[in-house]
Amino acid sequence: GRPDYDEVSGLVVLRVAEVAAFQEKLLRALYQGADIGVPVTPQQIVFGTQVLLRNSNIDGNMKLMIRTEVPNNRREDAIKRAVVTMNLFQKISSTAAAIQTEELEKADMLILADLYRDCQVELGGMFRFLTPEAQDRYSGYANALKEYEKKLSEGCEGGANGGCLDKPTGEEVEFKTKEGQRVA
């Protein structure tokens, strides 16, 4: 069954950083011509970001992490980084909401990919405010959950690339153009 890990603050920070990394990778692959079978719209970015923020409670989890796990002498810097992180997520939504086209254009893809990268960097920095022991513990939780999720998705069907987190061989899902060329 599922590992018995509550969604604790440091783990949430890592998981949201993973989502940001995936969004960045997807947008850069789309920029390079990847075909995921459906158009990507600005509204999807706005909605997806709102859902991520709500479901992860990243703001509350960063506050909890700062209050309970960040050493006192690093809390002020951690608070500043948390504010920057939340502002970046809001900038993703406001940037996407301001796009006037039905689908994302190439320039929009790069701008949004850069914002997701910046979120990932900020969240990584946030994580590094934890003690090395806490970082190891949360990294272990994240790795255990990833393994559990991979097992759950074994043999799944549907969607682009089978709708799976990884291919049955364990290799990472690749993005391809309509012509079948691999996108880096």
Write out the H or E segment, with its range, that includes residue 84.
Answer: helix 75-97
Task: For residue 172, report the phi and psi dihedrals to the nearest 5 degrees.
Answer: -70, 145
Report the first-to-last Cα separation within the chain, whole angstroms: 34
The answer to whether the CB of 141 falls within 8 A of the CB of 5 is: yes
The tens digit of pLDDT for each residue in 3-40 reads: 445 558 888 999 999 999 999 999 999 999 998 888 89
Spatial distance between the Cα atoms of 43 and 98, rounded to a whole number of angstroms: 10
Name the 3-class secondary structure at 152. Answer: helix
> What is the pLDDT, as a whole number, of residue 182?
74
> What is the pLDDT, as a whole number, of residue 85?
97
Segment 40-44 long-range contacts (CB within 8 Å, at least 24 positions apart): 40/103, 40/104, 40/109, 41/102, 41/103, 41/104, 42/96, 42/97, 42/99, 42/101, 42/104, 42/108, 43/96
Which of the 8 DSSP states describes residue 98?
T
Q: Nearest 10 degrees: CA dihedral of 15, 17, 21, 24? A: 120
Spatial distance between the Cα atoms of 163 and 65, rounded to a whole number of angstroms: 33
Instruction: List CB contacts of 64: < 8 A, sequence separation 6 or more.
Output: 9
> What is the pLDDT, as a whole number, of residue 148?
76
Total-model pTM: 0.81
Question: Please, how many CA atoms are within 13 Å of residue 141, restricted to the half-sphere of its CB?
Answer: 17
Name the 3-class secondary structure at 148. Answer: helix
Which of the 8 DSSP states describes residue 74?
G
Q: Which parts of the chain have pLDDT scores under 50?
A: 2-4, 158, 160-162, 165-166, 168
The tens digit of pLDDT for each residue in 40-54 reads: 999 999 999 999 999
> What is the pLDDT, as a whole number, of residue 4?
47
> What is the pLDDT, as a whole number, of residue 3?
45
> What is the pLDDT, as a whole number, of residue 6?
54
